[in-house]
Amino acid sequence: MTRIALHRLAHGRTGDKGNRLNASVIAYDAADWDLLVEQVTEDHVLQLFAHKGASAVRRYLLPDMAAMNFVIEDALEGGVNTALCLDSHGKTLSFLLLALQIMVPSEHPITAAG
């Protein structure tokens, strides 16, 4: 098995509503769908966003689109109007999600690409 960043197999979109982050992961290749579902779990995403104060994560699977959507509670430090950080919008947080490390089989085509 080889460890890679999620962004090598998928892209994402995020948005925000209050203190709730909405983040999607969309596979570049539908053949990777099962691998992503197995590893990009609610627990892993909650751990990834724990430092932001996230309290819960719900995952919604969209298999016909080889995509999944995560609703992450309390991840925006109170929301756009109350957070002290310069950019508290959820739109930039797709980069954090896509940095998640996942494992792929050593023979996966992505490992040959470097």
Between the alpha carbon of residue 35 and those of residues 24, 47, 67, the distances in Å are: 16, 19, 12
Task: Check residue 92 and give its pLDDT.
Answer: 75
The CATH number assigned to the domain holding 14 equals: 3.30.70
Q: Is residue 108 part of a domain?
A: no
The angle subtended at Cα 63 by Cα 61 and Cα 71, nearest 5°, is 20
Residue 27 forms part of a structural domain: yes
Give the domain extent around 34: 10-98
Residue 109 maps to a domain: no
What's the N-to-C CA distance of the chain in angstroms? 14
Residue 5 lies in a domain: no
This prediction has a pTM of: 0.86
Q: Number of structural domains, the chain?
A: 1
Q: Tens of pLDDT along 4-29?
A: 999 999 999 988 777 889 999 999 99
Q: Assess whether pLDDT exceeds 80 at residue 84.
A: no
| Residues whose CB is less than 8 angstroms from the CB of residue 74 and which lie 6 or more positions away in sequence, other chains included | 19, 20, 53, 54, 55, 56
Q: 27-80 pLDDT, tens per residue?
A: 999 999 999 999 999 999 999 999 989 999 999 999 999 999 999 998 886 656
| AA letter at 112 | A
Question: Is residue 3 situated within a structural domain?
Answer: no
